Amino acid sequence: MQQGMENDQKPIADAIPQGWVDTRAPRRWRPFLRLARYDRPIGFWLLAIPCWIGMALAHLGQPWTTHDGLLALSFWVGALAMRGAGCTYNDIVDRDLDAQVSRTALRPIASGAVSVKTAWVFLMLQCLVGLGVLIILPAMARFVALAAIPLILAYPYMKRITFWPQAWLGLTFNWGVLVGYVAIAGTITTPLLLAYAGLFFWTLGYDTIYAHQDKEDDALIGVKSTARLFGRHTKNALFVIYAATLILLAFAGTTQARFLESADQAIIVGSWLPTLLFAFFLAEQITKTDFNDANACLRAFKQNKIAGLVYVITLAFSPPLLAWLQGMFDAS
């Protein structure tokens, strides 16, 4: 226990240096905040962004209402709760592996700062918050959200049995795009499935970059990953993966635009613009990252927060803005 308390004072490798968890949070809360990854908030963003993309796609070319804003906020709360719960569950399952990897050895359960029994209680509390968000969703969206549970429960075991755990994470982490879209549209459509497929490849790419931080330790303890699978061919693999991301997202936006009775050229062009901007971020990750440099890999991974936010904001606002500008031009 003493060792666990001492480890609790040491920052975890990829946490924000001197963040609020380490400097302002009450000391007794810090192990739990670290367990839920509040010292590494990018995961919350990467879980919430697909929900917002689903909403934006369903709303393509239409103005957002106050209710939509509240729904988007509820997805953020849900992302905080469920990402924290998912990380807690993952650390319970992976506690022995985490203790053997330098980047994860100081995680609260692996280091002894939080007991397994206490972690299960903390997990249940976070799930209750997630349940509170779930019950305010429309019935169909609730059903879709619950369907993700088998994916979540199986994820920690994937690295033990396949070199493609990043693909499983892609299926799991982007489930929110289905929930967000169905919460607005009430149904599953072809554009939604195209968007889900595109975001799947996005996660496959960025989590491959992230996994390059641990590839040496993973090889020693037998943990599998696409970083180990692709090895020195990672750059070429990412070109293919991110190309699939962009093509599928472009088709998702265009197909959704053509579904609209009021679709005009401005809305169609507006559906392309987010993908064009997204392409710049993804290309930079491929061309400027040294995959043998853990710090460079972490920087490239974290860039996906900005890339995702730019994408969803542009998807939400560029089609109606361009349609308005076209109307002003036609009127003049």
Taking 50 as the pLDDT cut, the residues of the chain under it are: 1-8, 324
Q: Percent of the chain at pLDDT above 70?
A: 87
2-331 CATH pick, 1.10.357.140, 1.10.150.120, 3.40.50.1100, 2.40.50.100: 1.10.357.140
Question: ∠ CA 15-205-301 to the nearest 5 degrees?
Answer: 25
Measured distance CA(292)–CA(213) in Å, rounded: 8
The CB density around residue 247, as the number of other CB atoms within 10 Å, is 15
Q: Are 64 and 316 in contact (CB under 8 A)?
A: yes
Could you tell me the two tokens for 226?
């696409």
Q: Are 150 and 172 in contact (CB under 8 A)?
A: no
Task: Give me the numbers of helices (H) and strands (E) for the chain, helices first please.
Answer: 18, 0
**Secondary structure letter of residue 112 according to DSSP:** T
Measured distance CA(100)–CA(124) in Å, rounded: 27
- pLDDT at residue 6, rounded to an integer: 45
- pLDDT at residue 1, rounded to an integer: 44
Closest CA to 209 of 319, 122, 286, 317: 286
Q: Are 128 and 192 in contact (CB under 8 A)?
A: no
- pLDDT at residue 2, rounded to an integer: 43
Helix (H, G, I), strand (E, B) or coil at 38: coil
Measured distance CA(94)–CA(88) in Å, rounded: 10
Which residues touch 113 (CB under 8 Å, ≥6 apart)?
4, 5, 7, 8, 31, 34
- pLDDT at residue 14, rounded to an integer: 53
- pLDDT at residue 104, rounded to an integer: 80
Closest CA to 162 of 86, 24, 81, 170: 170
